[in-house]
Amino acid sequence: MLIAAALMALLAVALAWPVPIVLSRAQWPARAPAVALVAWQAIAIAGVLSTVGALLTYGVSGLARTLVDGLVVLGRGILDGRAPEGLGPLHVFALCCALLFTGHLLLSVITTFVRTERERRRQHDLVTLLSSPNSEVPGARVMEYPEPVAYCLPGAFRAVTVLTDGLVKALDESELQAVLAHERAHLTQQHHLLLLAFRAWRKALPWFPIATRASHAVSLLVEMLADDAARSRSSARALVSAIVTVAASGGSGPDVGVTEATPESAAPRVSRLMREPHPLGGATTMLILTSAAALVLVPPVLLLTA
């Protein structure tokens, strides 16, 4: 078990620092944002599994020769109200860390979801009260506000795209259609669920630079995915113009949906849209997806063989 625990600990360290840094600095994610999102999810899942697995495996390593037997001995000791033989202070510390880390992550996910849903419902009520449909932009609601802002508010029963009248006045017809196509892509592809998971990870580990880096990378990638959907329905020129207009204002929607553009995301998105699409080759894509799947499977395999 000690070998399995050491291997998972090494994997956890690798996924906590060097691997995310290499991925965040790589150029290929812009060519295949969907594939890059799979890679980021694999890193997050494998990182959590390997961290908890390493702590848990080491914690019961002094009780039995296998993980399952060690957990059985530990469980019996807890039920009997006594510490099993072989359970030293370091083992107890590792088990407590595994329990606290798992509980902290789960609590962060639950509280983030509850707070986001509560704020989302409030935003839906405000949008219903302060905005109205507009014949110039069917399928969206327009709010009176001078700054050009666009965002979407997802929901199980009332998803909505919100534009300000400042945006409607600032963009021409083709640019407005590009914005609408972009926002609809966010809603149909359920980007808010992915963003919610990484926001919860960032809030759970605010002192952990990689959690913040991953959240920012995922936010940019979902914008690129929506850009691709909008570009398939309108011209890249119209989309670029709309992105620049929104980003230049510095305005943004509430942090419960998916905003259309921010100053931080505008530059890489515009640069990407100004170039001809150059997607990854099939072999490279398959290699990355296979590696991501293998990465997620490594911690469970090590746990099963521990």
Burial pattern 248-275, b for ≥16 Cβ within 10 A else e, equals ebebbbbebbbbbbbeebbeebbebbee
Residue 23 has pLDDT above 70, yes or no: yes
List the domain boundaries for the chain. Answer: 1-87+280-306, 132-275
Mean pLDDT of the chain: 92
Q: How many CA atoms lie within 13 A of 199 on its CB side?
A: 18
Whole-angstrom distance, CA of residue 293 vs CA of residue 39: 9
Beta pairing, strands 131-133 & 150-153: unpaired
Question: pLDDT per residue over 230-286, tens digit each?
Answer: 999 999 999 999 999 988 877 666 665 565 566 778 999 999 999 999 999 999 999
Is pLDDT larger for residue 135 or for residue 123? 123
In the prediction, which pLDDT does 242 show?
Answer: 92
Predicted pLDDT at 132: 93
Confidence (pLDDT) at 252? 64
* Alpha carbon distance 37, 195 (integer Å): 11
| Phi, psi at 37, each rounded to 5° | -65, -40
pLDDT digits (tens, 9 = 90+) for 50-67: 999 999 999 999 999 999
Q: What is the pLDDT of residue 256?
A: 58
The pLDDT value given to residue 30: 96
Instruction: For residues 152 and 184, give the distance between their C-alpha atoms in angstroms, rounded to a whole number.
Output: 8
The pLDDT of residue 286 is: 98
Residue 116, exposed/middle/buried by CB under 10 A (0-12, 13-18, 19+)? buried
Average pLDDT (128-133) is: 93
Cα separation, 60 vs 237, whole angstroms: 60
> Is the pLDDT at 87 greater than 80, yes or no?
yes
Model confidence over 88-128: pLDDT tens digits?
999 999 999 999 999 999 999 999 999 999 999 999 999 99
Which pLDDT does position 253 carry in this prediction?
A: 67
- Cβ atoms of 227 and 274 closer than 8 Å: no
Per-residue confidence (pLDDT) for residue 261, from 0 to 100: 61
Return the pLDDT at 206. 82
Q: Is residue 140 over pLDDT 70?
A: yes
CB atoms within 10 A of CB 125: 10
Region 214-231 average pLDDT? 94
Q: How many CB atoms lie within 10 A of CB 37?
A: 21
Among the ranges given (7-11, 207-211, 222-226), the one the predictor scored with the smallest mean pLDDT: 207-211
Question: Residue 216's Cα: distance from chain center in Å?
Answer: 8
Record the pTM.
0.93
pLDDT grade for 137, boundaries at 50, 70 and 90: confident
Residue-wise pLDDT tens digits, 163-212: 999 999 999 999 999 999 999 999 999 999 999 999 999 999 887 778 88
Per residue in 33-42, pLDDT tens?
Answer: 999 999 999 9
